[in-house]
Amino acid sequence: MFVADLTFENNSPRLEKYTMLDSPDKERIEKNWTSIVWNDRVVAMYSLHPLVLADVDGGSRFKQLNHSSHMYSNEWNELLGSLRGSTPLVDMMVGKLGIFHSHIVVDKKRNYCHYWVKMNDDLRVTHVSDPFTFENA
């Protein structure tokens, strides 16, 4: 994943100060990062469980967070471990909200399920919606 500052000069976009973020576990799942502002820093979320963040403001170093407060039921462990980012997280009055997805393969075709995911300010998942799909996607 590349992170850059986007500026405009004479109505033409220009990328400045770009940094390449390597995968924290050398996977090829690179299109599913979720960007957020957390603790007044721009970070990229690689996974929900375990919670893996890259400090974009500070370079490409990864910080894996395994707070004891981020323990979930076995059912949620499995679900949250399979979810990947789809949208940037939106700040709410309390916590953050975003859409994440997982997929299953049926007849050699990937089928995507999406979920609304709400987190508290410490990025602990507090709510997950029932799955939904987009028609003709």
The model's pLDDT over 113-129, given as tens digits with 9 standing for 90+, comes to 999 999 988 888 899 99
pLDDT tens sequence across 34-63 = 888 887 777 778 788 878 777 766 555 555
Q: For position 67, what pLDDT does the model report?
A: 40
Q: For position 68, what pLDDT does the model report?
A: 38
Between 3 and 111, where is the model more confident? 111
pLDDT category of residue 3 using cuts at 50, 70 and 90: low
pLDDT tens sequence across 56-105 = 665 555 555 444 346 666 777 778 888 888 788 899 998 999 999 988 88
List, in order, residues 6 or more apart from 2 with CB less than 8 Å away.
18, 19, 20, 21
Between 132 and 80, where is the model more confident? 132
